[in-house]
Amino acid sequence: MSKSLRMAMGVLGVAATFAACAAGENQHEAQVDTRPGLPPEPVVTYSFTGAQPAQRIEHGEWIVDVDDAKRRLHAQHHPHKVLETRRVPGHFQQPAMTSVKDFALSKKDLTVINPGPGEYVHVMEGQRHGYRNLTIGITYTAPGGAPPMHTHEGEESHVLLKGKILYALGDKIFTMEGPYIVNIPPMVPHSFRNEGNELAELVVIFPTNVWEYDVLDYFPFKNLSNQADTKRSDSK
């Protein structure tokens, strides 16, 4: 084989190797691009640096110690220990309700809190926005995201149009797939977890103009195996 032929073959070999590597890189990039991505996590509105004197703010929420009256209330409804109460921090001035912006809110205008890993809520607390008996939250619940086990003094409703959510409601564990509505009675311990591969945005509704909940010392999904029903648990 002549020297010039060997050189030509060598050049062709290098070119083929480079082309294969380039094809592999492009294929990898295409796979990444076709994967469903999650929207960026929201940023909490309030931090501990903005706390008022004697006020404790963590994960965008105002943390309040529980008193004996609160403990007695919980003891009447469930066996779990109540750890703390969480509220929306920050001073506010009630709107005049004279212009369109007082009545029509964008999600970006709402207070953001971070109750648990992979769980954020855009909170429309009624008393801050001209409502007398309504508070609504829109969640950002990432796959696997969940709030702590908690209760509310009033009833709550969950609405989800698309997604798969694992619920703990009292002593029941069950799964719901959207579209659905779930009724959560007053003082019933509950939590939920996104079982899907995409972001879930639950709408949570309260017939009160104050956002408040009590966190319990029990988390139902920590050691969960296959206890969840794959169907609605109407028969339980």
pLDDT value of residue 36: 59
According to DSSP, the residues that pair with 62 across neighbouring strands are 57, 87
Tell me the mean pLDDT in the region 199-212.
98
Give 58: exposed, middle or buried? Use CB within 10 Å, 0-12, 13-18, 19+: middle
- The pLDDT tens digits for 63-88 are 999 999 999 999 999 999 999 999 99
Say yes or no to pLDDT of 1 above 70: no
pLDDT value of residue 54: 78
Q: Look up residue 234 and give its two tokens.
A: 């109407």
- The pLDDT tens digits for 128-179 are 999 999 999 999 999 999 999 999 999 999 999 999 999 999 999 999 999 9
- CB hemisphere CA count around 92 (13 angstroms): 17
Q: Where are the domains of the chain?
A: 1-35, 48-216
- The pLDDT tens digits for 8-34 are 444 334 333 333 333 333 332 322 222
CB of 133 within 8 A of CB of 198? no
Rounded (5°) CA angle 120-134-187: 70
pLDDT value of residue 14: 38
- CB hemisphere CA count around 76 (13 angstroms): 9
pLDDT value of residue 229: 37
Instruction: Kindly report the CATH number that applies to the domain delimited by 48-216.
Output: 2.60.120.10
